[in-house]
Amino acid sequence: MKTPAARRRHGSRRGLAAASAALLLASGTVALTQASASAAAGCRVDYTTNDWGGGFTANVAVTNLGDPITGGWTLEWDFPGNQRVTSGWNGTFAQSGAHVTVTNPSWSSTLGTGASVTPGFQATYSGTNAAPARFTLNGTVCDGSTGPTDPPTDPPTDPPGDRVDNPYAGADVYVNPEWSANAASEPGGSAVADEPTGVWMDRIAAIGGANGRMGLRDHLDEALDQGADTIQVVVYNLPGRDCAALASNGELGPDEIDRYKAEFIDPIAEILGDDAYADLRIVTVVEIDSLPNLITNVGTGDVATENCNEMLENGNYQNGIAYALQKLGAIPNVYNYIDIGHHGWLGWDDNFSSSADLLTEVAQQSGSLGNVAGFITNTANYGALEEPYFSIGDSVNGTSVRQSSWVDWNRYVDELSYAQAYRQELIGNGFGQDIGMLIDTSRNGWGGPDRPAGPGPTTDVDAYVDGSRTDRRLHLGNWCNQAGAGLGERPTASPEPGIDAYVWIKPPGESDGASQEIPNDEGKGFDEMCDPAYGGNPRNGGNPSGALPDAPISGHWFSAQFRELLANANPPVQ
């Protein structure tokens, strides 16, 4: 890969929920993922907070892992929000915007190898209080190691079976030849046909290959032939799959957990565990959309809610995912990533922490949090990576953007800030500092003629947000074949602190669902949210679906969508 709890709404599959209570982040240790350029330097930072909502104290324990430091030290970081230091101790604090600098007190200018200092401070904030993602000590990034760890220019040479911190770092990632051929067949598509995309195991027959398609072993063999270091496999066939939507229902009934284990997970694990593939880093994206549905789409409501209630009660989502994590996590070169929906689904206070708690419980049920390498957001969705022209801290005439119709009291307006904050929440739940996040950027570029060139008008908060936002969907809850979307950032390793990679897990040009009912043998139904004539429901605020017409069933090639994604790409396709 190129490395360059106030209220809840039941969301759709790519749904929404909302709340207005303040989010209190638990104290935790910050994970740091960058590298030092100096072989003789290294440091570790443990950042812990005591938060009471609107204010907090923090201790920043710094340990020097490299050569002794004499003549003074300087610690620096950037706050991800609007935190402001009001007082400090064990160091001299200065802040400019989000950037904080702490210099040593006069009595502590030397820091020997293995020695620690603990500056502390008191601060205020509004909105969220996510921890800083990166600290530097005298210019060296504190990632807990010594010596340079920048991704190598040559292919990785880690011994077979040894897990690395980031399976994408320095890696050539497998290009699916079936998707590549479809992309290259479209006008201009050859420009992106060499990008790596996910291989979807979405039914039992897909393991061996169905309807002339490559099976799992075929893809792994092809990855070896390509000289790839990393391959991405989506494991997606839970009993009662995708309970809140019909377009991607699966073949297994709600109670068929034994079939899921014996006929789906076990054969996949057997193939992935073959010694022939021991040199590959195998990234598995485990069961997208499932656990978030148990947070937002249960209770009283329509048929979809009843379906999700059944899955919550029988426990087969939790049982199935825990089994998959355990079986796949036992393979030394497999890296499991679990789905966390997206910011327009779980970004509200009522859903953020409760979903993280559920993910933690399921990982513990698998036998070890270590069975999880990381988490993925925005899989097969359209949430903007970043919103350049407005932020969650903005206000218009004294009204916060959180009160706008689009944001609707969410804490996040983009996937990057959501992913980084969610990562800190999970670390606070006990996951290790080495967990990383993936963001699916395959369809969140939102280029084209409707992309704004600057902030919207400040006449009122809705006009400001609607004029500023690059995500041009009619509603955050719209998820099926969205008109006007574009390719997002190309797949890239280590693009931001805490982010293992931007990935194209959903292959661009593969449909989300059919525009009308199409009989098929894949267990996939018809969802009105894929019908461009559908007028909406309470989940999406009564807005039209925003879906493209004439779409095939989910997973099938949709030429018109691919062409639009290519034309609207942001960054543009060269």
Instruction: Give the bridge partners for 120, in sequence order.
Output: 59, 89
Q: Of residues 349, 512, 527, 531, which has the active-site annotation?
A: 512
If pLDDT is split at 50, 70 and 90, which confidence band does 30 have? very low
pLDDT digits (tens, 9 = 90+) for 76-121: 998 988 899 999 999 999 998 888 999 998 888 888 888 889 999 9
CA distances from 167 to 91, 134, 216, 281, 501 (A): 38, 20, 19, 6, 9
pLDDT digits (tens, 9 = 90+) for 196-214: 999 999 999 999 998 889 9
339 is catalytic: no
Query: What structural domains and CATH numbers belong to the chain?
Result: 43-141 (2.60.40.290), 177-546+560-567 (3.20.20.40)
- CA dihedral over 560, 377, 51, 11, signed as positive or negative: positive
At 247 the pLDDT is 63
pLDDT band of residue 304 (cuts 50, 70, 90) is: low
Q: Is the pLDDT of residue 2 over 70?
A: no
- Give the separation between CA 410 and CA 390, rounded to whole angstroms: 14
* 450 flagged as catalytic: no
The residue annotated as part of the active site, out of 289, 349, 394, 408, is: 289
Q: How many residues does the chain have?
A: 574
The single-letter DSSP state of residue 206 is H
Which pLDDT belongs to residue 303? Answer: 59
- Condensed to tens digits (0 to 9), the pLDDT of residues 407-441 reads 999 999 999 999 999 999 999 999 999 999 999 99
- Predicted local confidence at residue 301, as pLDDT: 63
147: pLDDT strictly greater than 60: no
Q: Is the peptide bond before 571 cis (omega within 30 degrees of 0)?
A: yes
Residue 457 burial (C-beta neighbours within 10 Å; 0-12, 13-18, 19+) = exposed
pLDDT exceeds 90 at position 37: no
pLDDT at 151 exceeding the cut of 80: no
Burial 379-417 (b: 16+ CB within 10 A, else e): bbbbbbbebebbbbebebeeebbbebebbbbbbbbbbbb
Kindly report the number of other CB atoms within 10 A of residue 438's CB atom. 27
Range of lowest pLDDT (9-23, 259-273, 294-308, 341-355): 9-23
Average pLDDT, the chain: 88
Burial of 300 (0-12, 13-18, 19+ CB in 10 A): exposed
Q: Which residue has the tokens 């899955």?
A: 311
pLDDT value at 385 more than 90: yes
The answer, as to whether pTM is greater than 0.85, is no
pLDDT at 325 over 90: yes
